[in-house]
Structures are given as structure tokens and as C-alpha cells.
């Protein structure tokens, strides 16, 4: 693969002090909003190894026991979700105002409530934790698609594996998210190269995850009740895709081809439409959904948060044009307007603290520590044989080792 110049200018690869300060401020607000749920006791339903492993590591190097370490780790990762949204929108738009708007909207009571209910009261904790990693995976994929680079590919592949090893359902959501990002990049420029890069990191991510998603595990999964439900759903969606895919693909090329400034609208708007359909299509037909529809509410809130940042930057540009002939007023008015908007949204988020407190009070939960359960897909995986697990671990270990060794033999920008 050769190094290719992107039609879109990338923001700096590392955060500046200003970005770090903004990220810290967003995290602080998120901690305040979510603080009432820090001690809610639930049974975390694990079907992937990332959270148990991280909980064990935290317990190993801190005075916390395993249950308490897992509890605080889950709480902090969920609180970090708005920071992940901020990083993705900054990479996509190169505008801090859009990133801040998306992060703050994700903390509004209506949007945060869907994640908190899913994570702390509906037993979908791993899925919600994976949402923190998905936008960061989008950041790494965008950088690799636009500029190439062996180490960029390694990081993007690792993020795909990380999401899949956090939540199998999160892996499905991540596939939708990254596919939308890739398609938007393809219609802008250099489509074949970018599509090849996406396929490459997807394969590498799958190989890294082979120790968990072994061939035997996949075979047993597809013959289980969840697997048969998934196959039935895919079968129901295939005829619909023959109708929708050409329409959406044609519209995407006609509206967004070689228009990088419209890329944020395409990604955010497309994700909103997709997750809205998954959330509410069951009302049209019982076969047009994958898993329970309520699980997509958190994904829809994530997409809506991204779209809010896109709308914010569009409104900002409209004001720039509207006030462009009043340069003196423009320089004074716009910063004041932005400050007022940020203060107003922050005040609304502060009210979210009371909303979260009420949420905890209205649910019949006992405060305490988490209890761990291995359920669903985790139980199915326990049926796989030792040889199958050994082969999977060998494939993953060999892939990761080869990639790490090769990364030191290639320059950072060399594809």
C-alpha cells in the first residue's frame, strides 16, 4: 500500500494542552452527572473477557478487591464516554465547538438515562462500556484510512478487537459504525485504497480476537437459539437490503461524493437513521430487528449526540456568514454567543444530576458491590473444546506478535 494524501485535513495526531483541558472538563462534568450510580449493585452479565481481565488487573495493583475494582472501572469507563465522543467529532470536523457540543449533548438527562438504565438496571453493562471504545476506534480508523501507516493499522485493528472482546453485541454496533465511516471516506476520494484498508484492519482485528471467537465457538453459537434468531433476522433483512442499499448508496454518492465538508452530516445522519430503524422497525414487522429493540436506545443516543455536534458547527458557520459583513460585531458577538450556549447546556447537564439521583431512587436496587455472572454467549463458549481454544489462542498470539515485531520495522507513515 502506498501512502496517499487525504482530501480532508487531519487534526494533530496528539492532543494539545487545550484539548486535554477540554477533555478533563468534560470528564469532570460527566463524573458529577453520573455520581449517584457509582454504588448501584447489579449483576454484570459478561460474555467477553475484557472487563473481567481489567477488573482483575485493577484489583492486583490497587487496594480494591475484585468486585469493587470492577464496579469503579465500569463506572469510570461509562463516565469517559463523552470524552470519546469529543475525540471522534474533533477528528471528523477539526472544530472544538462541535466536539464540545456533542459531548455535552450526550450528558443531557434524556441521552444519559438510556445508557444508565441499560448499564445499571437492565443488565447490558458490557454493551454500554463498549460504546466508550467505539468512537475511539472510529478515530483510529479515520487516521488509517486517510494516511495509511503500519502502526496506524495496528492500532485500528486493536480497537476493533477491543470492542469485540468487550461485548459481542458491541461488535455488531461497531461494525455498523465503522462501515458508515468507511463508506463516507470512500465516496470522498481514493475509494479502492480505503476500502482495502478497512478490510485489512477488519481481518487483523478478527485474527486478534480468534482466541475468544474460535471456529468451534462460532459453530455452536450459530446452532444455538441466539444464533438461529440472528440468522433468521439476517434472512429477513436481505430482501430489504436489495431495495435500500442501491437507494442509500446512490444517494450517498450523489450528495457527498468529493464533498469532505459534508462528511460529518453523512456519518452522523446515517447512524441516526440506522439505529432508529433498528429501534423501531419491530413495530413494522417482527422480523426486522436484531436482538431486543431497547438495546439500540443507547446507540441511538450516541448517534444523536454526534449529529448534535454537526448541527452546532453548521449553525456556527451560518452565523459566520450572516454576520460576515459586520466584522467588528462578529468578533465580539460570536464568542459571547458560544459562551452563552455552553453555559446553558452545562446548566442543563447539572440538572441531570438530580435526574440520575431520581433514577437510582425509582429502581428497586440495593447499594453495594457488583456480582459477576457469565451468561448467554459466555455459557455457549464454555462448550468449546480445549483444542479449539488452544488453536484460537495460537492464532491470536501469533498474529499479535507478528504485528508488534513488524511495527518496529516500518516507519510510522509507511503503509
Looking at the chain, the whole-number percentage of residues with pLDDT higher than 90 is 20
94: left (phi over 0), alpha (psi -120 to 50) or beta: left
| Measured CA distances, 364 to 113, 118, 125, 256, 370 (Å) | 16, 15, 17, 48, 15
Could you report the per-residue pLDDT of 35-87, keeping only the tens digit for each?
A: 887 777 666 666 788 988 888 898 888 888 888 888 888 889 999 999 999 99
Top pLDDT among 235 and 189 is at 189
Q: Give alpha helix (H) positions in 281-326.
A: 296-322
- 191 grid coordinates: 475509494
- Tell me whether residue 392 is exposed, middle or buried, using C-beta atoms within 10 angstroms of its C-beta: 0 to 12, 13 to 18, 19 or more: buried
> DSSP letters along 115-172, please?
HHIIIIISS-HHHHHHHHHHHHHHHHHHHHHHH--HHHHHHHHHHHHHHHHH-HHHHH
Could you report the per-residue pLDDT of 168-188, keeping only the tens digit for each?
A: 888 989 999 999 999 989 888
Tell me which range, 20-29, 61-70, 158-167, 260-269, is most confidently predicted by mean pLDDT. Answer: 158-167
Task: Show me where the domains of the chain are located.
Answer: 27-407
pTM: 0.83
Per-residue pLDDT at 369: 43
Amino acid at each position: 500500500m502506498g501512502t496517499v494524501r487525504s482530501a480532508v485535513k487531519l487534526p494533530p495526531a496528539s492532543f494539545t494542552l487545550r484539548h486535554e483541558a477540554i477533555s478533563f472538563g468534560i470528564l469532570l462534568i460527566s463524573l458529577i452527572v453520573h455520581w449517584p450510580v457509582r454504588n448501584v449493585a447489579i449483576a454484570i452479565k459478561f460474555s467477553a473477557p475484557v472487563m473481567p481481565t481489567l477488573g482483575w488487573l485493577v484489583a492486583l495493583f490497587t487496594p480494591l478487591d475484585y468486585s469493587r475494582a470492577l464496579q469503579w472501572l465500569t463506572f469510570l469507563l461509562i463516565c469517559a464516554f463523552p470524552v470519546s465522543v469529543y475525540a471522534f467529532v474533533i477528528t471528523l470536523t477539526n472544530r472544538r465547538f462541535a466536539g464540545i457540543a456533542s459531548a455535552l449533548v450526550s450528558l443531557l438527562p434524556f441521552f444519559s438515562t438510556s445508557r444508565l438504565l441499560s448499564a445499571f438496571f437492565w443488565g447490558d453493562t458490557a454493551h454500554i462500556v463498549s460504546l466508550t471504545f467505539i468512537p475511539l476506534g472510529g478515530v483510529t480508523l479515520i487516521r488509517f484510512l486517510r494516511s495509511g501507516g503500519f502502526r496506524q493499522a495496528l492500532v485500528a485493528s486493536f480497537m476493533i478487537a477491543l470492542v469485540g472482546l468487550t461485548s459481542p453485541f458491541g461488535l455488531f454496533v461497531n461494525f455498523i459504525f465503522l462501515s458508515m465511516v468507511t463508506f463516507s471516506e470512500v465516496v470522498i476520494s481514493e475509494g479502492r485504497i480505503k476500502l482495502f484498508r478497512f478490510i485489512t484492519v477488519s481481518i487483523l482485528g478478527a485474527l486478534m480476537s480468534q482466541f475468544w471467537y474460535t471456529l468451534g465457538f462460532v459453530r455452536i453459537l450459530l446452532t444455538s437459539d441466539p444464533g438461529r434468531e440472528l440468522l433468521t433476522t439476517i434472512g429477513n433483512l436481505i430482501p430489504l437490503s436489495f431495495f435500500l442499499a442501491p437507494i442509500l448508496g446512490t444517494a450517498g454518492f450523489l450528495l457527498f461524493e468529493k464533498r469532505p465538508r459534508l462528511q460529518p452530516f453523512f456519518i452522523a445522519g446515517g447512524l441516526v437513521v440506522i439505529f432508529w430503524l433498528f429501534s423501531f422497525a419491530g413495530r413494522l414487522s417482527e422480523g426486522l430487528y436484531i436482538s431486543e429493540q431497547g438495546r439500540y436506545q443507547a446507540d441511538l443516543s450516541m448517534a444523536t449526540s454526534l449529529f448534535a455536534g454537526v448541527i452546532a458547527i453548521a449553525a456556527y458557520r451560518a452565523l459566520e456568514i450572516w454576520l460576515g459583513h459586520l466584522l467588528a460585531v462578529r468578533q465580539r458577538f460570536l464568542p459571547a454567543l458560544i459562551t452563552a450556549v455552553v453555559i446553558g447546556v452545562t446548566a442543563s447537564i447539572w440538572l441531570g444530576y438530580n435526574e440520575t439521583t431520581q433514577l437510582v431512587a425509582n429502581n428497586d436496587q440495593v447499594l453495594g458491590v457488583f456480582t459477576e455472572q457469565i451468561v448467554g454467549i459466555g455459557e455457549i463458549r464454555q462448550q468449546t473444546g480445549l483444542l479449539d481454544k488452544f488453536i484460537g489462542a495460537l492464532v491470536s498470539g501469533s498474529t499479535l506478535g507478528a504485528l508488534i515485531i513488524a511495527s518496529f520495522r516500518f516507519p510510522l507513515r509507511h503503509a
